[in-house]
């Protein structure tokens, strides 16, 4: 059933400057209470998070997207601490992807043979309650000094098998443009690095950061791919759409990832609207992530069976370019695994039975093995 939401509050009277947004980010109970009616439990959760967990941090812009009339607003769920964050369940991990174990240099993680992830900052525009790196982000140290990244850059120079660097954090786009460009130039100077990928949630939570100066500064450092992060169609505001258009018009390929979150987007209709909206902005939905097993986030995670069910419901009803891969980033850093419903029902004697998205069973036949023998003989004759 389609849900109705109020219109996001206007940003009229609020600065459209991204630095202003960061300076005026909401971080305390008192600040938030001036914007939203809070329950006693929410107040306690915010205070607990500031002392023992991931502190509250949300830009005025992203907070303006909250439906004030609904406590189940998907934006509210994503950015407000919950009392349930104090609960730790079996399987929870503080470092769910085993990044500490796969660190090859300070701030550099290598889990795959040909690429590495550089943690350039622990600063963000919004503290998402499901944050995979909350163990780092909660420290609030911000940008990693370039001098501290030298060992990581030295490692990259010494390992020619690494062809791609994923710049992540935190969010690297909360850097000043000058600082960001200096880091990207240092990476680009390594000849065997072919591609730089920037992981960012800025287009959805701080879209005014994507401006002409940033795009122009990045153009000379291509190829750069962007992996942006949108979880709900409510985030696809006119400002967010403009930010995405500026990146695409600047010549940057843009992909998107979404995290399946209970009560936010674990609904095929919600995801279909989101993915269609992204495709309209020339953004390719690439990953639909089963939520990582971050300690204190069990209340936000769906079961894996539910994730598969939601993803399966998109097949056939949404254009193929609008359907991302459903993946589990396996605990302990063993890499991403693509998952989905069982579609291969049997394989016997060159006959494979498949189940279509409509539930129909279709048989696919392999070519006769004898054809290989005939081809070998014809080649020999030639």
Higher pLDDT, 105 or 347: 105
Q: Is the pLDDT of residue 174 over 50?
A: yes
Q: In 10 A of CB 248, how many CB atoms? A: 15
Domain contains 2: no
What pLDDT was estimated at residue 357? Answer: 84
Residues 120 and 247 in one domain: yes
Instruction: Let me know if residue 317 belongs to a domain.
Output: yes
Given this model, what pLDDT does residue 117 score? 98
pTM: 0.92
Assess whether 80 and 110 both reside in one domain. no
Residues designated catalytic? 111-112, 115, 124, 128, 131, 133, 292, 329, 336
Q: How confident is the model at residue 319 (pLDDT cuts 50, 70, 90)?
A: very high
Q: Mean pLDDT, to the nearest integer, of 30-52?
A: 95
Query: Residues 265, 360: one domain?
Result: no
- Pair 79, 209 in one domain: no
pLDDT score, position 342 = 85
Q: For residue 338, which of 324, 328, 348 has the smallest C-alpha distance?
A: 328
| Inside any domain, residue 251 | yes
95 within domain boundaries? no
Query: 13 lies in a domain?
Result: no
Domain count, the chain: 3
How do residues 64-95 score in pLDDT, each as one tens digit?
Answer: 999 999 999 999 999 999 999 999 999 999 99
The per-residue pLDDT for 72 is 95
User: In this structure, is the dihedral angle defined by the CA atoms of residues 218, 224, 225 and 226, taken in order, positive or negative?
Assistant: negative
Do the Cβ atoms of 196 and 223 come closer than 8 Å?
A: yes
The b/e string for 284-320 (b: 16+ C-beta within 10 A; e otherwise) is: ebbbbbbbbbbbbbbbbbbeeeebbebbbbbbeebee
In a shared domain, residues 53 and 185? no
What pLDDT does 375 receive? 59
Which domain range does residue 325 map to?
103-338
**Do 329 and 185 sit in the same domain of this protein?**
yes
Question: For residue 15, what pLDDT band results from cuts at 50, 70 and 90?
Answer: confident
Confidence tier at 1 by pLDDT (50, 70, 90): very low
CATH code at position 299: 3.20.20.70
Q: Is residue 9 part of a domain?
A: no
pLDDT tens-digit series, residues 274-287: 999 999 999 999 99
Average per-residue pLDDT for the chain? 93
Asked if the structure places residue 5 within a domain, the reply is: no
Q: 70 with 122, same domain?
A: no
CB 178 within 8 A of CB 205: no
Does residue 7 sit within a domain?
Answer: no
**186-240 pLDDT, tens digit each:** 999 999 999 999 999 999 999 999 999 999 999 999 999 999 999 999 999 999 9
Longest dimension (CA), the chain: 86
């Amino acid at each position: 059933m389609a849900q109705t939401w109020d219109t996001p509050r206007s940003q009229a009277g609020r600065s459209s400057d991204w630095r202003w947004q960061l300076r005026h980010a909401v971080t305390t109970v008192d600040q938030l209470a001036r914007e939203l009616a809070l329950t006693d439990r929410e107040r306690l959760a915010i205070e607990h998070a500031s002392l023992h967990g991931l502190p509250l941090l949300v830009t005025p812009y992203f907070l303006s997207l909250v439906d004030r009339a609904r406590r189940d607003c998907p934006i509210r769920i994503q950015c407000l601490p919950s009392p349930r964050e104090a609960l730790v369940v079996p399987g929870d991990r503080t470092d769910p992807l085993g990044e500490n174990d796969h660190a090859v240099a300070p701030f550099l993680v290598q889990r795959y043979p040909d690429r590495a992830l550089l943690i350039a900052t622990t600063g963000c525009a919004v503290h998402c309650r499901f944050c995979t790196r909350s163990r780092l982000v909660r420290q609030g140290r911000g940008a990693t000094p370039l001098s501290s990244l030298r060992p990581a850059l030295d490692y990259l120079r010494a390992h020619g098998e690494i062809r791609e660097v994923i710049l992540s954090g935190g969010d690297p786009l909360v850097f000043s443009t000058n600082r960001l460009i200096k880091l990207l130039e240092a990476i680009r100077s390594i000849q065997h690095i072919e591609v730089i990928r920037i992981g960012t949630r800025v287009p959805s939570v701080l879209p005014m950061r994507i401006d002409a100066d940033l795009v122009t500064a990045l153009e000379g450092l291509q190829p750069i791919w962007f992996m942006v992060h949108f979880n709900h169609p409510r985030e696809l505001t006119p400002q967010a759409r403009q930010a995405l258009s500026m990146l695409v018009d600047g010549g940057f390929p843009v992909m998107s990832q979404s995290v399946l979150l209970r009560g936010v987007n674990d609904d095929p209709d919600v995801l279909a609207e989101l993915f269609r909206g992204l495709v309209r902005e020339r953004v390719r939905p690439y990953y639909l992530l089963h939520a990582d097993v971050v300690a204190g986030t069990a209340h936000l995670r769906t079961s894996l069976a539910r994730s598969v069910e939601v993803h399966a419901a998109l097949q056939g009803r949404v254009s193929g370019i609008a359907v991302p891969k459903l993946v589990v980033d396996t605990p302990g850093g063993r890499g991403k695994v693509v998952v989905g419903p069982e579609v291969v029902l049997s394989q016997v004697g060159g006959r494979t039975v498949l189940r279509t998205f409509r539930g129909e069973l279709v048989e696919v036949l392999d070519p006769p093995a004898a054809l290989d023998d005939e081809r070998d003989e014809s080649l020999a004759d030639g």
